[in-house]
Homo-oligomer: A and B are copies of this chain.
């Protein structure tokens, strides 16, 4: 009705990616677009909406109040489309598609670079991704990657990634702050926290036997990608699963002072529903993913960890 002037789906993906990556260039990379395309899509969408959705700073973009609202709905819309695709894909062939739900950070940092290998090795298995789907849709997935302690009633959980959590920061930033030799030194710096995983810092403290978290400043961010970005930009110290920042560590953008870190109970798990029979395709995929993950974790590690992460699985 009344020329609805609807946004483009690309526009929606753009704002969501922008919120997640905090910068036009990074979002562009994540979307396989150029910086200029993203910039223009954003402008177009803002013109359509009639309000700025992001405030521009020299370091990147941050959603405005309107942006937060709009982005949330954009995510709902994209989730609906993912759900539609996933459900319909199930109908399409006699061999139903494998439905995966991945967290954004894993999608960007782990799957995107690796998944083509799986497709090459198993061209006959059709895989349907989702990252925005609503929780009721997630329940339909064949594989759900989750973050937590491995306890999800009704789901088998196999350890996937991220048990080894490192204290990291930008090298210049740490040096300027006087360096870090012991765990307590961390409290002299602002610390960065991922909103969905707030336990990391207290776990860090207790695992080093240094009591309370008493950092000078705490910055809470909504996405792991933002935490990593902020750490690189020298805005604070972060606790990040090592496997997510192999590149940054290798290139020296981030350093792990004094090898501080700990083995976290909370990490990424590959979970599969227990109430459905495991198809052969599902088994194939899980095997592949777990093997690749093991390789990721052992690769480019200076020294193997004291305890090797072991696969766990339990029902409840």
Please report A residues at the B interface, Cβ cutoff 8 Å: 1-4, 6-10, 13, 32, 49-51, 65-66, 69-70, 72-74, 76-78, 80-85, 87-89, 91-92, 102, 107-108, 111-112, 115, 129, 131
Contacts and interface: CB of A to CB of B under 8 A. Distances in A.
A84 B70 contact: yes
A111 B88 CA distance: 34
Nearest to A100: B1
Counting chain B CB atoms within 10 Å of each CB, the highest count among A4, A78, A89, A131 belongs to: A4
A9 B72 CA distance: 17
B91 A65 contact: yes
A92 B91 CA distance: 43
A30 to B, nearest CB: 9
A26 to B, nearest CB: 15
A50 B14 CA distance: 25
A69 B88 contact: yes
A258 to B, nearest CB: 36
Nearest to A72: B84
Contacts of A8: 8-9
B112 A1 contact: yes
Contacts of A107: 1
Given A9-B9, A88-B51, A1 B111 contact: yes
B91 A84 contact: no
A66 B88 CA distance: 6
A62 to B, nearest CB: 16
Contacts of A129: 1-2, 4
B7 A81 contact: yes
A133 to B, nearest CB: 10
A7 B4 contact: no
Given A6-B10, A9-B9, A73-B83, 8 more contacts: A1-B107, A1-B115, A4-B82, A6-B9, A7-B9, A70-B84, A70-B88, A72-B84
